[in-house]
Structures are given as C-alpha cells and as structure tokens.
Amino acid sequence: MPTFDSKKIAHAHREVHAHLPSDPALRVKALESLLVEKGLVASETIDNWIELYSERIGPMRGARLVARSWTDPAFRDRLLSDAGQVVKDYGYQGHATEHLKAVENTPGVHNLVVCTLCSCYPFSILGMSPIWYRSAAYRARAVKEPRVVLHEFGVTLPEDVGVRVWDSTAELRYLVIPERPKGTEGWDEDHLAAIVTRDSMIGTQRDLSVEPA
Amino acid sequence: MDGPQDLGGKEDFGPIDVASPDFRHDWERRQWALSKLCPVPGITIDWFRHGLENMPPAVYLSVPYFKKWNANEMALGLDAGVYSLSELVSGHAKDPADPAPVQSVDALEDRQRALARSFAVEADTQPLFRVGDRVTTAARPTEGHSRLPAYARAATGTVTHHHGAHLFADAGARGEHIGHHLYTVEFAAPDLWTGADPRDTVRIDLWEPCLDRA
C-alpha cells in the first residue's frame, strides 16, 4: 500500500534520481522488464495498448459529437447539459470523461482548455494529448496571456470576442464545440466530422477549414 | 504545497511548439501504457499527482513529460513496496513470478472503458454557495496536495456552476475519500493578472474548503 506520506514520496524520488540512469529509454526498459518479471504485465499487452490508442481512440470520437451537435439541436442541448451521458451513449466512456463538460464557442466567446497543475485531458474522446498541451510553456501561459498563445497557433480573434480559459483543476474535463463553418450547409454528419480538428476541440484553433482536417 | 507543478502564470518558458506530435519516442508510448496498465495498487489519482509534485523541483522542470511519469511510477512503486531499489536498478525481479497473460486490443478496449470513474459523492451538507455568489479563494497554500493554483490565491470571482459534491483532491492524496461541494468559479482576467485583457476570464473548478464568501 502507498504510505500517502509527502516526505516519503519526496525521498523515493530523490532515490530514483540518484540511482537510475539518466537516459529515459533505459529507465523505461528497466521498469518494463521488472514489471514483466513480476508477472504484472506482458510486453505484448503494452504493444496492444499502444495500438488501441493509435487505431481506435482519438479525436475522431470528439469530432463525431461536434458534428452531430451542428445538425441536431436536441442533441446539442444534451451534449451541453450532460456530455458525460452522451459519451456513454456512444460507447466512448473511459479514461477521464465521466465528468465531461462541453462548452460552445459563440460569436462573442472563445473557449480555451488547459491544465496548469498537471495535464488533465479527455483521453477517451480525444486520444493522447499533443506534447504542446503537456508542455510547461502552454500550461504556464494559457491562463495568463491566452491571446498571445492563440496568436502562436495562428488564431487572431475579432475585436468583440472574449477568451474564456478553463483550467481543469478537478475531475471535470472540457470539450470545446467550435462554430460550424460557413459553406457546410447540407453536409451530412460524416462529412462534417472530417473537418473537426483536435485543436479546435481544445480551443487552440477557432475557424475550421472546409477542407478535411 | 508550493510545488514545481504549479505552472500557471510562470514566466519565460518561451514559445509553444505548436506542431509537436503526441509522442516523439517509443519509450514515451511504453511508459504511458505501463502507467495505465500497471498502476501501483491502492493509489488514488490525487496521490499519483502528489507524487509528481514531490519530484525534486529542478528535475520536474527540466525533464520530458513521460520521464516525469517514469520517475513517478518508480517512486510510487518504491513507496508502496512493489519492488526494491536494487530490483529497479537491475531491471530484474528478485523472485520472478509466472508471466502475466497477454491482453488483446479488444480486451484492452473494454479495460479502457472500465477506467470511467465517477468522482461524484452524496453530499452530507447543504452547499454554502449558489450560482452568482461572489467568493474569495484561500490566501495561503495548504500542506500537502491542493488543486487551487497559486495564481488564483486570494482572488475573488463568481460561482458559475455547482457540481454537487465530488471527492476532495486534498483528501484523496492522503488516501481518504471525503466529498465536498465542487464549484466552477469565474475570475475576470484583470483580477488575476496585472495588465490583463478585460474581455477575458479564467474559470477554475474549486472545492468548498478553498472558498469563502466575498
């Protein structure tokens, strides 16, 4: 059992730092071989987990929810009021989406999601987070200078748009619903889902292109 | 605690690598999988996070993300007695066990679904605040784990949502399961940062013990 003792875990970290090789590839190899020998995991299971996330779980899931929210007003209301349940209805439940909250961009509001304290992310509907989302630069800057951050992503907001930054400090996770772009009238859900990007669902992109992402 | 993880508003980290991929190295993928497949028995998500917060600060700020996770898994495993330091250094078990069965991608898809977990709990008190109330956050850091970012200490904002009671992170890091009312609080950016744009706001999810009526 864990000790749940801050001083003890800090000590354990100092031991790891002092005695393990610096090269992270060697460290991960050491941990994997030890856990395999202890019968706690098989290396093939690790391969399969990686395959699961590269093939089946990713931003295409979030994109489906966004696309349907553009065409089905009753669904949009449900998504905005209880995204956790919608995720279950789609069979997308899993890592970090139990308390999912969908937030909509409007002509006057742009939503931007960050986790300044760690790297909370709605994995089971967006897949693995991009490195920049987990980086110190994004975590430090998104709350303080969101407009400068957005500019680095190529986003310039119109004069009358306020930025609403969501810092994921509890177990709620956030999904941004971008605005439906002009020129997509009459498109079906599959066609719409193909233009919804991961970054638009985090909030580091505002205007979607009508070309597939 | 005032730990290195509390990055909101810290300066001089430079530009964001906006085109970065999800992973750069195979070891990053494998560490991610190891952390999800072999969590240290008995941990809470809050103890996992508190582990990261207790890395030597200079290390926390200088190593790649999944090297932090790797160090944290190692430290959490040592702390819980899953293995010894000499086993870790050698990468070999003192007393090897029977191999674990291989789980297929389909089986792991079910396992991923089963990671869904509710943090909502029955509230045994009435909420102190309502949507629209003005609240002020705690001024000083607490001991141990906290999810009140330093940049939002002693700040006044408006409650925008009440989420019922959720397991309180500070207690979870001590291995305790205690619920408190959880709120989303909106802060005007100029109430957090000097010279901030008055059009902008920051919303933070905070438990009742972090808040007082303004």
Instruction: Give the ipTM.
Output: 0.97
Looking at the partner chain, which of A51, A130, A163 has a beta carbon nearest the beta carbon of B200?
A163
Taking an 8 Å cut-off on Cβ atoms, the answer to whether B93 and A52 are in contact is no
Which residues from A are below 8 Å from B45, CB to CB?
A: 171
Residues of A in contact with B62 (CB under 8 A): none
| Model pLDDT, residue B190 | 98
Residues 42-81 of A with CB under 8 A from B: 42, 44-46, 48-53, 55-57
Q: Are residues A117 and A77 in the same domain?
A: yes
Instruction: Using an 8 Å CB-CB cutoff, list chain B residues near A93.
Output: 113, 116
Those residues whose C-beta lies under 8 Å from the C-beta of residue B33, and which sit 6 or more positions away, are A45, A46, A49, A50
pLDDT beneath 70: ranges in chain B? none
Residue A81 lies in a domain: yes
Q: Please tell me the predicted confidence (pLDDT) of residue A211.
A: 80
User: Is B55 in contact with A52 (CB distance < 8 Å)?
Assistant: no
Give the integer Cα–Cα distance in Å for A44 and B178: 38
- The count of residues in chain B is 214
Give pLDDT, residue A213.
63
> How far A35 CA lies from chain B's nearest CA (Å)?
8
Q: Give the span between the Cα atoms of B48 and B183, in whole angstroms.
A: 23
Q: Which domains does chain B have, with CATH numbers?
A: 26-113 (1.10.472.20), 120-213 (2.30.30.50)
Q: Which residue positions of A form the known binding site for Fe(3+)?
A: 115, 118-120
- Does any domain span residue A66? yes
Q: Which residues of chain A have pLDDT under 70?
A: 213
Neighbours of B193 (CB within 10 A): 17
Contact indicator for A114, A202 with CB cutoff of 8 Å: no
Encode pLDDT of B110-146 as tens digits: 999 998 999 999 989 999 999 999 999 999 999 999 9
Give B158 to chain A, closest Cα distance, Å: 14
For the stretch A82-105, pLDDT in tens is 999 999 999 999 988 999 999 999
User: Rounded CA gap, B145 and B129, in Å?
Assistant: 23
Q: Do A19 and A120 fall into the same domain?
A: no
Same domain, A65 and A102: yes
Give catalytic residue positions of A: 115, 118-120
Q: Please tell me the total count of domains within chain A.
A: 2
Same domain, A91 and A36: no
Whether B94 and chain A come into contact, CB under 8 Å, resolves to no
Q: Quick check: is A103 in a domain? A: yes
Chain B, nearest residue to A47 by Cα: B30
pLDDT of residue A153: 98
Q: How far apart are CA A4 and CA B195, in angstroms?
A: 40
CATH number at residue A192: 3.90.330.10
Nearest residue to A149 (alpha-carbon basis) of A178, A116, A182: A116
Where in the sequence is the domain holding A75, given as residue range(s)?
A: 59-202
Q: Chain A partners of B174 at a C-beta cutoff of 8 Å? A: 4
Please tell me whether residues A127 and A165 are part of one structural domain. Answer: yes
